Amino acid sequence: MKNFSKITLSVLVAASATLTSCNNDDDSAPVKASIYERLGGTKMVADPDNSGQMIEQGRLSFRKVVNSTIGLIVADIQSNASGNLQAHFAPVLAETGSTQATSIAKLSDNLTDFFSYNTGGTNSVNTYSGLNMVAAHDPAVNARMGTKSSNADYTKFEGYVGAAANANGVASNTVLYTDIVAVLESLRTPIVQK
């Protein structure tokens, strides 16, 4: 009986080792890190805009791109550049002084929340509670939206985001950039409404 138990035990150990090694072979494809993780993830860093406060690096990276995007849009509107998005941002830009600054800051926070939450930011600071994309981009529902977007408008917006990403260290010829564009493209259908 002891020999049978030793043989049985040996067979179970060998089978276990075989199954374990087969199982490891199935894991050959590495899991791609989320966009949020590739932008710095949950690593805490000093917040350059709020002295003495910390911020997740992924969230800071998104905020930088969002703020740069808003800056590029506003600069084109102010210079009356061809094809600018002034009609879309007219309600926010029509406000003046601290009201306008507060509205632009709120827009930045909402966009940062949205992109952080939807690209892998899992901590509670990355919660989006705003309107869905259809409602957010319909002036009949959202008074802060000046007009509905066409495909050309949205393509222009993507160009602003791409330039802002480049200005903040995300090169156009990278997988990260391509993945960011894919996220933007996934939003085209609900946002484009004319």
Higher pLDDT residue, 100 or 189? 189
Q: Which residues pair with 41 in a beta bridge?
A: none
Phi and psi at 143, nearest 5°, equal: -65, -15
Q: What one-letter code names the amino acid at 194?
A: K
Confidence of residue 30 (pLDDT cuts 50, 70, 90): confident
Exposed e or buried b per residue across 108-130, where buried means at least 16 C-beta atoms within 10 angstroms of its C-beta: bebbbbbbbbbbbbeeeebebee
DSSP-derived secondary structure for the chain = -HHHHHHHHHHHHHHHHHHHHHHHHTT-SPPPPPHHHHTTTT-EEE-TTSTT-EEEHHHHHHHHHHHHHHHHHHHHHHTT-TT--HHHHHHHHHS-HHHHHHHHHHHHHHHHHHHHHHTT--SGGG---S--HHHHT-TTT-TT--SPBPHHHHHHHHHHHHHHHHHTT--TTSHHHHHHHHHHHHTHHHHB--
Q: What is the pLDDT of residues 59-118, one digit of tens each?
A: 999 999 999 999 999 999 999 999 999 999 999 888 877 888 888 999 999 999 999 999
When the pLDDT of each residue in the chain is averaged and rounded to a whole number, the result is 86
- Which range has highest mean pLDDT (29-38, 63-72, 124-133)? 63-72
